[in-house]
Chain A
Amino acid sequence: AQSVTQLGSHVSVSEGALVLLRCNYSSSVPPYLFWYVQYPNQGLQLLLKYTTGATLVKGINGFEAEFKKSETSFHLTKPSAHMSDAAEYFCAVRPSGGSYIPTFGRGTSLIVHP
């Protein structure tokens, strides 16, 4: 069984500030980890993923995330927020073996102030 916890349903930052969205997971086997983004009135799209190999993964639009096994975390960061980053962000986990069904967190709404 697996689960995902996203700390903070809303995160507010100023344009140009660091973005940090937190994700902690639990998984009984090595996980595959994902961040998806949902822009207003659009479907979810993949931002980045971790499967194996390098623990720091880079995604689209300048986002990156680091898999920290000891902390069971996969936090999403971006050095400088843009207004266009305002969206809902979802962290997801699925086991590396067995089920192909990912479990999603409740989402974090990123608000960017000018």
Chain B
Amino acid sequence: GAGVSQSPSNKVTEKGKDVELRCDPISGHTALYWYRQSLGQGLEFLIYFQGNSAPDKSGLPSDRFSAERTGGSVSTLTIQRTQQEDSAVYLCASSLVGGTGANVLTFGAGSRLTVL
């Protein structure tokens, strides 16, 4: 597609429920990133996928968080047993690797998660 698409745009869930957030990156972008944006906290790195390499999961805050990327394209971020502190905007971005576009991330509009 023309841009990075994320769904749902808004999700309200009850504490303890599982949620799935989806990201559809720009076609041809081999790198995909998940960040979390909390009020006053900036962007917190969560996980990075690059081609067929093992993902860099160093930013995942707990084992309740996981992500996968199928076929080198669409990615799903799953949060199990949600807690109130998981409330945030979850941002997905994609980029090229190598060449002049290697350094620029294109972001989606985000998925706002509210845990009651």
Q: A residues touching B (Cβ–Cβ < 8 Å)?
A: 9, 32, 34, 36, 41-46, 49, 51, 90, 94, 99-107
Contacts and interface: CB of A to CB of B under 8 A. Distances in A.
A100 B95 contact: yes
B42 A101 contact: no
A43 B31 contact: no
Nearest to A108: B42
Nearest to B41: A106
Contacts of B31: 100
B111 to A, nearest CB: 11
Contacts of B103: 32, 34, 49, 51, 94, 102
B1 interface: no
Given A94-B103, A106-B40, A107-B42, A43 B35 contact: no
Interface stretch (B43-51, B63-71, B73-81): B43-51
5 contacts: A34-B103, A36-B105, A90-B42, A100-B95, A100-B97
A21 B36 CA distance: 23
